[in-house]
Structures are given as C-alpha cells and as structure tokens.
Amino acid sequence: MYLTSDIWTGVYSSHQRCLEALQRLGITPRQPQSAISVAEYLRLLEYRLKTANGEKQAEVERRIARLTGGTTALNPATATSEPVQPTPPRLIRAIQFVAHWATSEAMVFCTLVGAIAIQVHHVAHLVHRVSDADNLWLGYFFGSVSEITALMLTVHQAKRSMLIVFAVVQCWINILYYCELPDLTIKITLSGLIAFVIYAYSDLFAVIQRKKSLVKS
C-alpha cells in the first residue's frame, strides 16, 4: 500500500491535486491512512504520464519502471541519472499536509460554516430584541434558515447577482447588530430578509421541478 500523502511529491503540485486525480479515476483511498494499492498507484502514474512533462514526466516514468520491474525510464528522451526524490522529513510532511488541507474544499466548507454560525447569532439576537414574543431559540431557527439560503443558492444555482444581494443584506444586518438603530428599522429589515428567503427557495424549487420535467420528457 502507498500513502497518498507521500506519492504526490514529484508527481503533482499538491496533495489535493493527487486526490482529485484519484477521484477522476474512480479510486477511493483507504481510510484513515489514505492509502492505495500497487495496482491503483500504477493506474495513477499512467494517467499522470499523459499530461506530465519535463522533470515530472521523468519522475513518473522512473516510478512506473520500478513498479513494473524496469530499471530505466520508459522514454529514453526523458531518462536521467537523477536520484529518486527522497521522502521529506515528518515535520515537513506535516506542514505540507496542513498547507494542502488549508486549500481544500473541506477547509472552505468549515470556514463557511463558521461565518454562517456568527451571522446566525446576530440574526437571532435581532429577532429576540424586537419581539418579546419570539424567544431566542426561534431567533436561532430563523437565523439558520436565512443563512443556509446562501449555501443552497451557491450549491444549486450559483447566481452571482443573488449572492451579492444576500451579502449586502448580511452587511446591513451586522450594522443593525452593532449599532443603536430604531427597532422599526430592524423589523423592516427582518421582514424583508424572510421575504427574500421565501422567494429564493421558491425560485430554487421551481428550477428543480423544471429540470425534473426536462429529464422525464
């Protein structure tokens, strides 16, 4: 078995790109070590060879030669006497892992969830502030629904114009939270926010239904 955190060095520009290549090949690394078999490693190298050039091509060919029992690169034009790139020390590998995870989809998602959590808190306290009848739990529910709207619009539609409108609304909500403004202003803003959320989900539902109709037809 070969760890994906080791094999990308010298073949791909980052660990994330290596994982994306495995995904395109339909290969799922074993967890939790993120390891692949010899046969899967060979498939990855053959796939990389199609687009590799220069030193990366030579490195890929050397690795294929080792796995298949050869002693030289497959392409004489790229064969070199350079030694195989050694595995970096553990500390360097740990730093590389953190650096590549920081640019991954998982990190982007975690950051987005953190931002949404802060905004949910702001909306919840605004709701509770202007309406004694609505307790804080209802405020958090209202805030969660409104903030998840942006995530759903991004996933399903990715309409830049709607996301910009939503960002402006969120900026205004933060101003209401941190500044002392009349309660009437807050009430009008929250009313407009829930109306926008209902419109956004209604439009999203209509788009999904149209796509289903087209598929059936």
Task: Provide the 8-state DSSP code for 50.
Answer: T
CB burial class (10 A; 0-12, 13-18, 19+) of residue 171? exposed
Instruction: Kindly report, residue by residue over 13-30, the tens digit of the pLDDT.
Output: 888 888 888 888 988 888
Note whether residue 93 is domain-resident: no
Residue 85 has pLDDT above 60, yes or no: no
One domain for residues 120 and 197: yes
Q: Tell me, what's the pLDDT at 134?
A: 67
Q: How is residue 215 written in tokens?
A: 């598929």
Structural domain boundaries, residue 117: 105-216
Give how many domains the chain has, as a whole number: 2
Same-domain status, 118 and 197: yes
At 153-173, the pLDDT tens digits run 766 766 677 778 878 888 998
CA-wise closest residue to 4 among 92, 49, 197, 17: 17
Give pLDDT, residue 188.
92
Domain boundary among 86, 116, 140: 86
Average confidence (pLDDT) over 59-84: 63
End-to-end CA distance of the chain: 47
Residues 75 and 125 in one domain: no
Domain-located, residue 155: yes
Specify whether 71 is located in the same domain as 115: no
**Do 141 and 61 belong together in one domain?**
no
Q: Are 8 and 17 in contact (CB under 8 A)?
A: yes
Whether pTM > 0.85 for this model: the answer is no
pLDDT of the residue at 185 = 92
Residue 27: closest CA among 48, 7, 43: 43
On whether both 117 and 199 belong to a single domain, the answer is: yes
Residue 74 lies in a domain: yes
pLDDT tens digits for range 28-67: 888 766 788 888 889 999 999 888 888 888 889 989 988 8
Q: Hey, what long-range contacts does 179-188 have (CB within 8 A, 24 or more apart)? A: 183/129, 183/130, 186/126, 186/129, 186/130, 187/130
